Amino acid sequence: MHKLVLKILIITALFLAAGRVVVSNAISTSGVALGRINEEVAVLKTKNDSLKEELFSKASLENIASEAGKLGFTDKKESYVLTSPLPVALR
């Protein structure tokens, strides 16, 4: 009985060791890919930062006012106001 258990344990250990070798072999080149992905993430982050910067500059009121001025928009002198609200419906 004891011998059988011992055999099973040894066989399991051998299988696990072999499995580890196979898995290690399979993922041994993934580090390069991971490094490449990390680099790509860093580049995209930097690009995202610079796009954000551009977006904020374009969305700034200073920029909008200057663009509006170039397009010929001016301050409105008077506002039109409806002094009494119109009824929703008339009977």
Partner 1 sequence: MTGRFNFTLLFLLSLFAVILLKLFYWQVVKGQELFELGLSQYGTTITLNPLRGEIRTSDNFPIAANKTSYLVYANPKLVKDKEKTIKILSETLKVNIASASASLNKDLFWVPIAHKVDTKVKDNLERLQVLGIGFEKEYSRFYPEASMAAHLLGFVGKDENGRDKGYFGVEGYYDRLLRGKEGVAVQVHDAFGKPILSKINPRTPQINGSSLILSIQRPVQFLVEKRLKEGIEKYGATSGMAGVMDPKTGNILALASFPSFDPKNYQDFSADLFKNPFVSNRYEPGSTFKPVVMSSALDSGAVKADTKCPVCSGPVEVGGFEIRTWNNKYYKDTNMVEVIQHSDNTGMVYISQKLGVDKMLSYFEKFGVGGATGIDLQGESVPTLKPRNSWYKADLATASFGQGISVTAIELLDAIGAIANQGKRMEPHIVSAIETKDGKVIKVEPKTLSSPVSPKTAKIMTEMMVNAVNKGEASWTRLKGYRVAGKTGTASIPIQGHYDPNSTITSFVGFGPADDPKFVMLVVLNKPTTSIYGSETAAPIFFQIAKDLFNLYNIAPGGE
List 9, 18, 41, 53, residue binding partner 1 (CB under 8 A): 53
Burial call 49-67: b when 16+ CB within 10 Å, e when fewer: eeeeeeeeeeeeeeeeeee
DSSP 21: H
CB of 70 to partner 1, least distance (A): 17
Does residue 63 contact residue 57 with C-beta atoms inside 8 Å? yes
Interface with partner 1, residue 32, by CB under 8 A? no
36 forms part of the interface with partner 1 (CB under 8 A) = no
Chain positions contacting partner 1, by CB under 8 A: 46, 49-50, 52-53, 56-57, 59-62, 65, 79, 81-83
